[in-house]
Amino acid sequence: MVWRLFAPQYIFDMTQLIVVDVLSVLVLALTMRWGSYAFVDTTTA
């Protein structure tokens, strides 16, 4: 039973999920960074 947890298929699936999670957080950080520049309200400052 336990060995099935370490089958390559699941390890690859898990890695892909981790890669997607990490990358999407990076992309989101860039989006928010970009957003904070593009929309900064300098007219009232």
Q: Which residues bind another protein (CB under 8 A)?
A: 4-5, 8-10, 12-17, 19-21, 23-25, 27-43
In whole angstroms, the minimum distance from the beta carbon of 9 to another protein comes to 5
In angstroms, the Cα distances linking 37 to 5, 22, 40, 41 are: 45, 23, 5, 9
In whole angstroms, the minimum distance from the beta carbon of 6 to another protein comes to 10
In whole angstroms, the minimum distance from the beta carbon of 20 to another protein comes to 5
CA 23 – CA 28 distance, rounded (Å) = 9
